[in-house]
Structure 1
Amino acid sequence: MSFSVLMICMGNICRSPMAERLLRLRLDERLSDGDLVVVHGAGTGAWHEGEAMHHQSAEEVLARGGDPAGFSARMLTTAMLAEQMDLALTATIEQVEFVTDLDPAAAPHTFVLGEFARLAAAVPEDELPTGDLVARGRALVAAADRRRDGARYSDEVPDPWGRAPEYFTAVADQIDDAVTVLADRLAGR
């Protein structure tokens, strides 16, 4: 059994790949049993299906010590939501709506990335089990869901597509900060 995190953005070549690979990096740094967490991503559209990560996103992942190799963009399906997801993290509020329209049952497990980081950081440690990473992850999601106060535009991750390298860096920093909160909470930090 594993805890599955699905990162979602529009085309699955910029934001969600950075989130996927940076979360994997932060988990590997913190957990000896990090392979109990499956991290993958998808896009709300099929524009880039099968393509590699955007070169600027790949550079940002590499700059932080992550590995962009072997990435291939894919489109979100209802099967991914039903079978491969304990937690879905989107780049925008609109993408949360896309996910919940696709599968209403995903609503309690679907958040904007920054929203989840903000809520997860506020969950007291005594509300989370220890010793079972999967149970801890699921309890963290449930606790964040109970604390929902509405996603804010400041929780969103802006799209760096077509922007300057510095913009990609700022977006990668925002993503890295948010996924580090998740990795820390899963690790009991």
Structure 2
Amino acid sequence: MRVLFVCADNVGGSAIAECVATAYAAEHRLRSLVVESAGTRAAAGLRLGPPVARVITGLGADPRRFRSRSLTAAMSAEADLILTMTEADCRDVVTLDPDAAPRTFPLLQAYRLARMTAAVSVAELHAGRLAYPAVSRPIANPAISDEQKSAEIGDLIAQALLGLLRSLAYEPYIAVPSLPNRETLLPRPAAGPAFEAAG
């Protein structure tokens, strides 16, 4: 599965999501989980600012190799699932690539739908959205927040993202986490997920 994270500038929420998902995939040897991120109005090649980099480090991931990217239609076309930080980001993705609409969700909406419907696929998430339409609350930009708020936003992103990835990895026996302690953010699952594992 190829997952694309999108926000406006790609040095805030989508960057945190990419780094956390990358760490999760590496920790569990999920060779078929491919993640990247981009911004609808991003300048390409930017490093992360120290506050966001510290949030990512605190979540057990590595921000050092991250560079911002500008969203293209080709990126959205290649993604199996597109997760945005806000409804506005979602609309921007669909404006760029209308065919991406069934695969594009605000992260918090996708997380909530996975919990409500026990969805284990992107198609089931989309069906759940049609059955339970709702406006998702936006995830604030941690890059322009104070240190404490940035950490809280990082925890929110990680909670929603890891809960969603576990659902889509066909691991319903793993409880959706409560707000995680950053020291124990990436627990090893009790059994191998349905994503292809490295040998």
TM bucket, shorter chain: 0.7 to 0.9
SS at match of 2:62: coil
- Does residue 182 of structure 1 match 2:164? yes
Match of 2:41 among 26, 42, 45: 45
Of Structure 1 and Structure 2, which has the larger fraction of its residues in helix? Answer: 1
Q: Paired residues, what number?
A: 169
| Aligned counterpart in structure 1 of residue 57 of structure 2, from 51, 59, 62 | 62
1:187 to partner: Cα distance: 5.1
CA distance in 2, matches of 1:54, 1:16: 14
1:48-77 superposed Cα distances (whole Å, 9 cap, x missing partner): 321112221111111121111211101100
Instruction: Quote the residue 2:87 is aligned against.
Output: 93
How big is the alpha-carbon RMSD for the aligned residues of Structure 1 and Structure 2? 1.6
Alpha carbons 2:142, 2:154 under 8 Å: kept: no
User: Retained in 1: the 8 A contact 2:37–2:69?
Assistant: yes
Report the residue type matching 2:13 in the other structure: R
The change in CA–CA distance for 1:171 and 1:143 in structure 2 (over 3 A counts) is same
- Structure 2 distance, partners of 1:16, 1:182, is 15
**CA distance, structure 2, for counterparts of residue 103 and residue 56 of structure 1:** 32
Residue identity matched to 2:41:
G
The one-letter code of the counterpart of 2:128 is: R
> What is the TM-score when the length of structure 2 is the normalising length?
0.79
**Which residue is equivalent to 2:2?**
4
CA drift of 1:26 comes to 2.7
- CA distance in 1 between counterparts of 2:164 and 2:21 reads 8
Structure 2 partner of 1:150: 133
Give ranges in structure 1 of 5+ residues lacking alignment: 129-139
Distance in 1, Cα, partners of 2:89 & 2:66: 21
* Structure 1 residue runs of 4 or more that deviate by more than 6 Å after TM superposition: none
Q: Specify the SS of the correspondent of 2:143.
A: coil
Q: How far apart, in 1, do the equivalents of 2:5 and 2:32 lie? A: 17
* 1:90–1:110 Cα contact (<8 Å) kept: yes
Tell me if structure 2 keeps the 8 A contact 1:81–1:106.
yes
Query: CA–CA distance in 1 between the matches of 2:165 and 2:52?
Result: 20
Q: Distance in 2 between matches of 1:176 and 1:90?
A: 13
Q: Secondary structure at the match of 1:19?
A: helix
Find the counterpart in structure 2 of residue 133 from structure 1: none
CA deviations on 1:130-173 (whole Å, 9 max, x unpaired) are xxxxxxxxxx111010000334343x211123221011011101
Separation in structure 1 between the aligned mates of residue 170 and residue 23 of structure 2, nearest angstrom: 13
Give unmatched runs, 5+ long, in structure 2.
175-199
